[in-house]
Structure 1
Amino acid sequence: MNYQIAIKRANTVDEVEEYWTNEDYIKLLEKFDYPDAADADPSTLRELLFMAISDFEPRDAAVVVLEYKLSEDLNEGQIQQISNDMFLDKVCEEYPEIGLHSTLFHINQLLFKAYNGTFPNAKATIIECSFAPAEGENENELTKESILKLLNNGLSGSNLIKRLFDSQMTENAPFPEAEDILWDVKTTDKVNYTIKTSEYWLSKDDIIASEFEGVLEIVVDAE
């Protein structure tokens, strides 16, 4: 199926504000020994957390936040290693399990802001775009895999996704990594989408066209 793709807006951000909830702040405040966090004014929770975190050494704080978010995915040794590596490198871009990149980004940036730059500063990309089929209407919401394949013609040849996953982007081949490369995809009408991902995978500079065409091959299961 042929599509007309339009990139309406692409922004680089150093945090996704809606990621951390007040419930997260309250639970983290408790872990950082702040009493009665649940009784605090919700508008002050983030500031209170930063104050509480500042009483801890950065590595110790990193362990606390990593354990809070990733204790089911990482063992104690891995958490200790990441808490050390976070000072030297952007672990949220380099960790071998890309399924953890999104959570590691949010953890890194919370600590980056709490410690005023002690941790490396990572970036995310938020893209607002549309995918309009040449004929008819979208019956189903596009998958992350389909979105990446359709974006291919509008991306620079130096883009990391295109370089690492050339066949998946250009051929009718399975692309399971797309689920982790794109952190979040939202649409209300199956045409206009908001996409969040790491600047590491897809930066504003990677987008070389604001309007272009794409072809999405539909796989038909053999009976």
Structure 2
Amino acid sequence: MNYQVVIKNIDTVNEVEGYWSDEDFIALLEKFNYPDGATAEKSSLPELLEMAILDYEPNEAAQIVLQYKLGDQLSEGQIEQISNNMLIDKVCEEYPEIHMQGTLFHINQLLFKAYNGKFPNAKASIVHFSLTPTDGEAQKLTAENVLKLLNNGLSDRNLIKRLFENQISQNIPFPEAESIIWELKTEDNINYDLVTSENWINKEDIKESEFESILEEVEDVI
């Protein structure tokens, strides 16, 4: 199917609003030895958590939050190593398990804010764009569909194109797309917002803001 693609804007942000829920804040407060989170005013929970975090050394705090969010996927040794690496590197951009990078970003930025810059400052991109079919009705698209359609507007230096050139440009499966795009929202199947790392897509990566793309049916690889 043919699409008219318009990239309207890219917002660069330090945090993604709404990622941490009140339940997350209350659970984390308990893990940081503040048991009264459940009875506190909901609006005060982020500030209370920041204060509770500061009672711990940065790498200790990182271990606690990593265990909370990724304890079912990482060993104690991996958590300890990541907690130390987070103080010197943007682990959320470099970690080889792409499906964890989004969670690592949110953890990094929670700690960056609490410790006022002791952790490196990573950034996310919120891409606002429209995908209008020129020869059919609009359908809700997947992360894989979206990246393939955006391909024609991305410069050759874009990291996705450099690492996944075949997957993004050909009608073959691109399973990594679900991990590269952290959030994908649409209310009308035409106007979309996607959230990803600035490392994956940033303002400098856009060579064309309006262009046409063809979405082909992905062939199964035997």
Residue deviations 1:34-79 (CA, integer Å, cap 9, x gap): 1311111111110011011111100110000000000111010100
**What residue is the counterpart of 1:36 in the other structure?**
36
Aligned residue type for 1:83: S
1:200 aligns with: 199
What does the per-residue CA deviation read over 1:116-170, in whole Å, with 9 as the maximum and x for residues that have no partner? Answer: 00000000000111100111212x3111111001001111110000111111111
1:220 is displaced (CA, Å) by: 7.1
Shift of 1:98: 0.4
TM-score by length of 1: 0.96
**Which residue is 1:171 aligned to?**
170
Say whether 1:92 aligns with 2:60.
no
Equivalent pair of 2:172/2:219 in contact (CA under 8 Å): no
TM-score (normalised: structure 2):
0.96
How far does the alpha carbon of each residue in 1:74-113 deviate from its partner, in whole angstroms, 9 at most, with x for none? 0101000100110111000101100000000000000000
Residue in 1 that maps onto 2:179:
180
CA shift at 1:219, angstroms?
Answer: 4.1
Show the counterpart of 2:66: 66
Deviates more, 1:205-214 or 1:101-110: 205-214
**1:155 matched to 2:158:** no
- 1:144 aligns with 143
Contact 2:111 2:119 in 1 (8 A): yes
Corresponding position of 1:50? 50
Tell me the secondary structure at the aligned position of residue 121 of structure 1: coil
Measure, in 2, the Cα distance between the counterparts of 1:56 and 1:81.
17
Structure 1 residue identity aligned to 2:12: T
What SS is found at the alignment partner of 2:200? Answer: coil
**1:15 aligned residue:** 15
- The count of aligned residue pairs is 220
Match for residue 217 of structure 1? 216
Query: Which amino acid is 2:158 matched to?
Result: N
Query: Secondary structure, in 3 states, of the residue corresponding to 1:195?
Result: strand
- What is the deviation of 1:175? 0.7
- Structure 2 gap segments, 5+ residues each: none
The letter of the residue matching 1:174 is P
Q: Which structure 2 residues correspond to residues 125-144 of structure 1 after superposition, within 5 A?
A: 125-138=125-138, 140-144=139-143
Q: Percent identity?
A: 63
- Distance 1:5-1:74 versus aligned 2 partners, 3 A rule: same
Q: Quick one: distance in 2 between partners of 1:220 and 1:38?
A: 50
The answer for unaligned runs of 5 or more in structure 1 is none
Amino acid in structure 2 at the alignment position of 1:48 = L
What is the identity, as a one-letter code, of the residue corresponding to 2:203?
A: K
Moved over 3 A (4+): none
Q: Is this contact kept in 1: 2:171–2:216, CA < 8 A?
A: yes
State the alpha-carbon separation in 2 of the partners of residues 220 and 24 from structure 1.
Answer: 40
